[in-house]
């Protein structure tokens, strides 16, 4: 087999040589040599004659042999991931070349409608590379969790993954706080899950007002710029990546099991029936002291030969089904039945290449994921084509296109219903059909109802394409034009049969929903770049932009399908109760932008930009808005007085200011809205119309003014580098719905009011701790904090009174109904404060407040014997993290084994947890509940209330600390040496294992403190290689 393999390799190399050759020359010159990098052979490197198609590739030892027309040719050596190198032959027969890794891309970041060297940046921009990632993710947001200071991403716990994103805190009260997404230089209106993480080369996060201001009206919440992969110099490369994984629950939040449930039911019956004699609700096999069996039987006049278990269960108000199952020993574990060990599959293949004329990258990826909840399933196929063609030396054209189809055609098990389901209930009826109410009580429905009975078809398809052209003009001018076209089609149909729980009352219920969206955008960009006297560098960018966005949606539903329901949603017209609806929207926008970068002596850096945006959704008096920005950078280490400090490699000061907008409101929020209604008139049905919303012709953008100061530094031979940022932002003209008196017939109007302020601090550090030949250890650390406050709301002033009721001043009024308070954070908690639980020896004191032992003790701030919100509510913490940090470590052993882990933490925030209070309106005597402790006279806890405690007078929440430290990722990878992998005709082979979310440290007593829901732990095995 070994000999055959050698023959096969020789044949491959032979045909490769043939494919590169141009013929047999009368007079030839032979060149041989070896291509290496860091002392190791580079297998498959391209050796090509410059300007010709003559060439070859290196063999498994990095050697090459090439026949030339003459000895004056120039050879170009290239390989993916390395800088190309040109060498003139000049009669030499042996030419050995050492290739260096290509770090140029790492030195260049996207700054909006262009790129810039990292050392020339004046704004707060962070770049993330996706190289060598081992994570099993479906969305960009999952890749970024906790890795960038000042950036947060939600924890996507479903099979689909994903999650919200937030940059530098909440700036708006009512409008969106999500960042703008830019894909390959063009604003992207689609869903992030349609972008395959395997296609992404780099991600740049624009955080400050200046760097984001070039996107103007949509950049108030920051910008996430995604750049996808392109072809690299050299031969065509086929890359394959496979990830197979498994998920399970990170932590369990179980309900009471069968026996515990019976104790809970007993204790609730004792609490709610205080007149019943001692032991009445107790198990006859475990009666309280002083109560014998005869006494227990006498409570209901039962005889000794009665079925004791039935008597007891009837006293607990068990249903017939529960009694039968208990007597038969049939307990249902709804919890374990609702969760599963989930399989995840992710396959990706791509082919890419580049020569003097054409650069191309094409990929195809498939995901088939299960979620940890039974029935949660997500399937998607994603494909991307990136193409650039140099038509002439002055014209380049390109195409970036991607297609995705998502299938979410399954309804998952309702795990929240599984918590409430009685462990003595039944999943199925005796005839095998699904039992709608497991314990014969409509307070608890079967958690498997929709999963087993609903027929659903939910498929979304998207297609996004960008055509662009780049024309190089005289005198340093470059003109670029790009046209982007985005399309989205969704079909979400389902049918609930007449035999199903959801469809029974409708005699079958069919629904068809169709949604589609189309957006186009046209960018015209003119650039000019020139250097004067070698020290003055000017870079000018001009933009003219047009866009249009449209949506169409329609819905058809029907019930009582006749003569048969066998076709379900396929025959929605065959019913007796049709309902039809539709909704179409359209908006348009345009923009002009100018940006000038000035570099003086590579030391003093200036950036100024101005953008003017128009948008159709705003009032007729304010369709346009202006967004200016300015930034300055000073590379202090280039000053003569810094040259003597040898241990400082880089030190730069950055200052920036900019104004950005937020247009995330309803497309017709500035217009009056009219609705229709059918009514009888003279015996006939007619349709009348009426106004439901007031217009506002003065409606305009929210605007965020942002200031930023930053320091970039590198010391000790770049062994330690980092960034320190501080910022202040003020968002004015907030897009809010102003409440109106009911007497005028309108509840509110959309208008511009108020101001929210943000300030924060960010720190990013990177270090190379050890750098030896066979061991390298590097670390990263990020930390951030954000503080916001509401500075103004509606401008309505109220009197300030002293303790005697005298007016001593005025202040702006709060919005108590929405929980917005002047001078406080958007997420600051304002509620009654819990001091503990009323105990038996405090019964008289509790009664003064309408409470009893086992109820939560609320702080009566002014000690007046009653609870009033204006007197007794207090500020007591925040709902969002006060501090966030992350620590990463990467170790490389013997240049082939990589081990890394990442720890992150959010600290100082709280959330409500009603399970501590066991609220009044929860039916503990009818359904199950989470397994939490609860107060009883025999268990006088001061942390948990009694079952069915008084939570209504007044209404309050119980807040608990959600701080946590999470080991987010652990990864181990082995890079198979090319000398070994080349035996199978592959290169850059790597196998790896990854564990996501393996460890969590928290005092939070509910599901995951980050997602507040069941969260997965993911184990992934992956293989990656190139051909």
- Number of domains into which the chain is organized: 2
Which residues partner with 479 through β-bridges?
471, 526
Which of these, 838, 833, 814, lies nearest to 824 by C-alpha position? 814
b/e map of 518-557 (b: 16 or more CB within 10 Å)?
Answer: bbebbbebbbeeeeeeeeebebbbbbebebebebeeeebb
Domain assignment of residue 251, yes or no: no
Query: Rounded to whole angstroms, how far apart are CA atoms 184 and 207?
Result: 18
Are 512 and 569 in contact by the 8 Å Cβ rule? The answer is yes
Which residues partner with 755 through β-bridges?
732, 792
Query: Rounded to whole angstroms, how far apart are CA atoms 248 and 453?
Result: 25
Residues of the chain with pLDDT under 50: 1-26, 104-106
Boundary (domain end) residue, out of 311, 330, 349: 330
Per-residue 3-state assignment (H helix, E strand, C coil) for 805-840: CCEEEEEECCECCCCECECCCCCEEEECCEEEECCH
pLDDT above 90 covers what percent of the chain? 70
Which helix H or strand E contains 871, and what residues bound it?
helix 869-872
Structure tokens at 103: 């770090």
**Who contacts 795 (Cβ-Cβ below 8 Å, separation ≥6)?**
753, 812
Are 161 and 137 in contact by the 8 Å Cβ rule? The answer is yes
**Who contacts 1002 (Cβ-Cβ below 8 Å, separation ≥6)?**
962, 963, 964, 965, 1009
Query: Rounded to whole angstroms, how far apart are CA atoms 139 and 163?
Result: 8
DSSP annotation string for 595-620: EEEEEETTTEEEEEEEEEEEETTS-T
List the alpha helices (DSSP H) in 590-712. Answer: none
Structure tokens at 568: 């379900």
Structure tokens at 269: 């019956």
Structure tokens at 770: 């050890």
pLDDT of residue 18: 37
988: left (phi over 0), alpha (psi -120 to 50) or beta: left
Cα distances (Å, whole numbers) of residue 180 to 121, 183, 311, 767, 866: 20, 10, 65, 31, 49
Domain assignment of residue 92, yes or no: yes
pLDDT of residue 188: 93
pLDDT of residue 26: 39
Are 1017 and 247 in contact by the 8 Å Cβ rule? The answer is yes
Domain assignment of residue 68, yes or no: yes
Cα distances (Å, whole numbers) of residue 309 to 285, 653, 764: 9, 79, 65
Query: Rounded to whole angstroms, how far apart are CA atoms 179 and 209?
Result: 12
The predicted-structure confidence for 635-673, as pLDDT tens digits, reads as follows 999 898 888 898 999 999 999 999 999 988 888 888 888
pLDDT of residue 107: 64
Boundary (domain end) residue, out of 313, 330, 347: 330
Domain assignment of residue 899, yes or no: no
Domain assignment of residue 277, yes or no: yes
Angle at 432 between CA 427 and CA 438, to 5 degrees: 25
Instruction: Please give the residue range of the domain that contains residue 73.
Output: 2-98
Which residues partner with 41 through β-bridges?
36
Domain assignment of residue 299, yes or no: yes
Question: Rounded to 10 degrees, what is the CA torsion of 544, 548, 549, 553?
Answer: -170
Query: Rounded to whole angstroms, how far apart are CA atoms 391 and 359?
Result: 12
pLDDT of residue 3: 46
Which of these, 144, 223, 230, lies nearest to 188 by C-alpha position? 223
Query: Rounded to whole angstroms, how far apart are CA atoms 18 and 56?
Result: 8
Query: Rounded to whole angstroms, how far apart are CA atoms 552 and 38?
Result: 58
The residue with tokens 């004792």 is 270
CATH number for the domain harbouring residue 38: 2.60.40.10
Distance from the Cα of residue 846 to its chain's centroid: 46
The residue with tokens 């140099």 is 390
Q: Is 319 helix (H, G, I), strand (E, B) or coil?
A: coil
Handedness of CA 183, 187, 192, 194 (dihedral sign): negative
At what angle are helices 308-315 and 320-328 packed, to 10 degrees?
140
Are 182 and 112 in contact by the 8 Å Cβ rule? The answer is yes
Are 592 and 609 in contact by the 8 Å Cβ rule? The answer is no
pLDDT of residue 538: 94
**Who contacts 901 (Cβ-Cβ below 8 Å, separation ≥6)?**
888, 889, 967, 969, 970, 971
Domain assignment of residue 21, yes or no: yes
**Who contacts 381 (Cβ-Cβ below 8 Å, separation ≥6)?**
364, 365, 366, 367, 404, 405
Pairing of strands 97-98, 29-37: parallel
The predicted-structure confidence for 806-817, as pLDDT tens digits, reads as follows 888 889 998 888
pLDDT of residue 105: 47
Query: Rounded to whole angstroms, how far apart are CA atoms 959 and 917?
Result: 10
Domain assignment of residue 303, yes or no: yes
Boundary (domain end) residue, out of 292, 312, 330: 330
The predicted-structure confidence for 101-111, as pLDDT tens digits, reads as follows 765 444 677 77
- Per this entry, what is the length of the chain? 1027
Structure tokens at 41: 């052979």
Structure tokens at 500: 């199903």
């Amino acid at each position: 087999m070994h000999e055959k393999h050698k023959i096969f390799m020789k044949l491959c190399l032979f045909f490769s040589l043939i494919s590169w050759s141009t013929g047999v020359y009368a007079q030839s010159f032979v060149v041989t040599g070896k291509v290496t990098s860091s002392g190791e052979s580079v297998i498959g490197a391209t050796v090509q004659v410059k300007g010709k198609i003559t060439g070859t590739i290196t063999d498994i030892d990095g050697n090459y042999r090439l026949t030339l027309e003459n000895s004056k040719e120039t050879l170009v050596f290239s390989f993916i991931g390395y800088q190309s190198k040109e060498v003139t032959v000049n009669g030499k027969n042996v030419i050995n070349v050492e290739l260096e890794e290509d770090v140029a891309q790492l030195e260049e970041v996207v700054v909006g409608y262009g790129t810039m060297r990292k050392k020339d940046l004046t704004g707060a921009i962070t770049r993330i590379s996706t190289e060598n990632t081992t994570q099993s993710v479906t969305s960009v947001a999952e890749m970024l969790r906790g890795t960038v200071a000042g950036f947060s991403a939600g924890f996507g716990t479903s099979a689909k993954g994903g999650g919200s994103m937030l940059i530098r805190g909440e700036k708006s009260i009512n409008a969106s706080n999500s960042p703008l997404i830019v894909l390959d230089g063009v604003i992207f209106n689609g869903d992030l899950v349609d972008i395959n993480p395997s296609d992404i080369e780099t991600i740049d996060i624009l955080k400050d007002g200046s760097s984001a201001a070039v996107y103007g009206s949509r950049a108030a919440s920051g910008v996430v710029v995604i750049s996808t992969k392109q072809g690299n110099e050299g031969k065509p490369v086929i890359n394959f990546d496979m990830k197979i994984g498994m998920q399970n629950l990170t932590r369990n939040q179980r309900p009471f099991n069968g026996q515990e449930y019976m104790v809970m039911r007993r204790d609730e019956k004792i609490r709610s029936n205080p007149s019943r004699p001692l032991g009445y609700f107790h198990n006859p096999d475990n009666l309280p002291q002083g109560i014998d069996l005869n006494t227990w039987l006498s409570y209901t006049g039962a005889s000794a030969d009665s079925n004791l278990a039935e008597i007891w269960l009837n006293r607990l108000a068990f249903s017939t089904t529960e009694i039968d199952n208990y007597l038969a020993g049939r307990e249902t574990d709804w919890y374990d039945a609702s969760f599963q060990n989930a399989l995840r599959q992710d396959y990706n293949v791509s082919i890419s290449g580049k020569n003097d004329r054409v650069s191309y990258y094409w990929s195809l990826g498939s995901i088939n994921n299960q979620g940890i909840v039974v029935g949660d399933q997500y399937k998607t196929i994603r494909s991307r084509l990136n193409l650039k063609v140099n038509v002439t030396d002055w014209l380049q054209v390109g195409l970036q296109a991607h297609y995705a189809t998502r299938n979410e055609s399954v309804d998952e098990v309702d795990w929240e219903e599984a918590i409430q389901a009685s462990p003595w209930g039944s999943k199925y009826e005796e005839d095998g059909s699904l039992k709608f109410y497991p314990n014969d009580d409509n307070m608890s429905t079967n958690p498997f109802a929709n999963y087993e009975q609903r027929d659903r078809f939910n498929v979304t398809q998207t297609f996004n394409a960008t055509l662009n052209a780049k024309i190089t003009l005289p005198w340093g001018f470059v003109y670029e034009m790009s046209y982007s076209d985005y399309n989205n089609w969704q079909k979400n149909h389902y049918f609930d049969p007449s035999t199903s729980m959801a469809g029974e009352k409708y005699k079958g219920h069919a629904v068809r929903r169709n949604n589609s969206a189309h957006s186009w955008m046209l960018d015209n960009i003119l650039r000019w770049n020139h250097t004067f006297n070698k020290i003055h560098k000017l870079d000018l960018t001009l933009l003219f932009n047009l866009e249009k966005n449209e949506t169409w949606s329609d819905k058809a539903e029907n019930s009582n399908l006749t003569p048969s329901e066998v076709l379900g949603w396929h025959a929605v017209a065959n019913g007796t109760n049709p309902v039809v609806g539709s909704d179409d929207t359209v908006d348009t926008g345009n923009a002009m932008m100018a940006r000038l970068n000035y570099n003086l002596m590579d030391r003093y850096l200036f950036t100024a930009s101005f953008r003017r945006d128009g948008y159709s959704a705003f009032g007729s008096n304010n369709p346009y808005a202006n967004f200016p920005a300015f930034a300055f950078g000073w590379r202090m280490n280039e000053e003569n007085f810094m040259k003597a400090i040898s241990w400082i490699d880089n030190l730069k000061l950055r200052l920036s200011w900019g104004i950005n907008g937020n247009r995330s409101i309803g497309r017709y929020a500035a217009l009056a809205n009219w609705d229709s209604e059918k009514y009888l008139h003279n015996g006939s049905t007619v349709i009348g119309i009426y106004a439901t919303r007031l217009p506002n012709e003065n409606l305009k953008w929210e605007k965020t003014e942002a200031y930023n100061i930053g320091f970039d530094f590198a010391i000790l031979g770049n062994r330690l580098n980092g960034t320190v940022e501080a910022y202040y932002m003020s968002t004015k003209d907030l897009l809010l719905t102003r409440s109106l008196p009911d007497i005028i017939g309108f509840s509110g109007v959309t208008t511009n009011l108020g101001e929210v302020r943000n300030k924060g601090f960010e720190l990013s550090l990177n270090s190379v701790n050890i750098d030896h030949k066979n061991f390298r250890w590097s670390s990263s650390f990020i930390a951030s904090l954000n503080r916001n406050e509401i500075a103004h709301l509606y401008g309505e002033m109220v009197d300030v009174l002293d303790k005697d009721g005298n007016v001593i001043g005025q202040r702006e009024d709060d919005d108590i109904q929405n929980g917005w308070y002047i001078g406080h954070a958007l997420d600051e908690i304002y509620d009654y404060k819990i001091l503990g639980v009323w105990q038996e020896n405090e019964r008289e004191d509790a009664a003064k407040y309408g409470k009893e032992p086992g109820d939560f003790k609320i702080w009566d701030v002014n000690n007046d014997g009653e609870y009033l919100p204006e007197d007794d509510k207090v500020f007591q913490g925040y709902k969002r993290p006060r501090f966030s940090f992350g620590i990463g470590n990467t170790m490389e052993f013997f240049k082939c084994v990589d081990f890394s882990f990442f720890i992150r933490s959010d600290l100082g925030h709280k959330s409500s947890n009603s399970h501590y209070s066991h609220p009044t309106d929860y039916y503990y005597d009818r359904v199950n509940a989470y397994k939490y402790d609860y107060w009883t006279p025999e268990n006088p806890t001061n942390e948990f209330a009694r079952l069915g405690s008084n939570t209504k007078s007044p209404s309050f929440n119980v807040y608990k600390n959600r701080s946590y430290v999470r080991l987010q990722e652990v990864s181990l990878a082995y890079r198979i040496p090319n000398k070994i992998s080349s035996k199978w005709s592959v290169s850059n082979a790597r196998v790896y294992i990854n564990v996501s979310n393996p460890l969590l440290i928290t005092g939070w007593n509910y599901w995951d403190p980050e997602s507040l829901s069941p969260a997965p732990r993911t184990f992934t095995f992956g293989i990656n290689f190139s051909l």
